[in-house]
Amino acid sequence: AQSVTQPDIHITVSEGASLELRCNYSYGATPYLFWYVQSPGQGLQLLLKYFSGDTLVQGIKGFEAEFKRSQSSFNLRKPSVHWSDAAEYFCAVVILTGGGNKLTFGTGTQLKVEL
């Protein structure tokens, strides 16, 4: 069965430092990949997505992610973190099924930003 692994439960970075959040997926074919962000007590906001084509995708809020098929990874990056980026980040994969599509999430990475 398809799965998504986010190996880092918590990450702390200083404001202005660079950020990389790791995501690995398990799926036989090329998946549809997503990163969502969730602020405390809020719903999920779509940051970016990868379907095909250029393996480096740009998203909102200055985030980008790179799809690496050989490593089954889709890591999220930001060159300079802002205090407002503190939130929980979820990597997800969509698998098309006979009846529709199913979004499977990782367990999330909690980002803390030190001022």
Describe the chain by its helix, strand, coil percentages, rounded to 5: 10, 55, 35
Beta bridge partners of 38: 44, 88
Residue 66 contacts residue 59 (beta carbons within 8 Å): no
Nearer to other proteins, 13 or 109 (CB): 109
Tell me the two tokens of residue 74.
């889709």
Task: Tell me if 52 contacts other proteins by CB under 8 A.
Answer: no
Binding residue (CB under 8 A) for other proteins from 57, 76, 106, 113: 106
CA distance 7 to 107: 9
From 96, 113, 114, 115, residue interacting with other proteins (rule: CB under 8 A): 96
Which residue is associated with the tokens 């970016």? 48
Question: For residues 112 and 98, what is the distance between their CA atoms, to the nearest angstrom?
Answer: 40
Using the contact rule CB under 8 A, the part of the chain among 13-21, 59-67, 79-87, 99-107 near other proteins is 99-107
* 23 touching other proteins, by CB under 8 A: no
**Segment 55-94, which members bind other proteins (CB under 8 A)?**
90, 92, 94
CB of 56 or CB of 96, closer to other proteins: 96
Binding region for other proteins (CB under 8 A) = 4, 32, 34, 36, 41-46, 49, 51, 90, 92, 94, 96-97, 99-103, 105-108
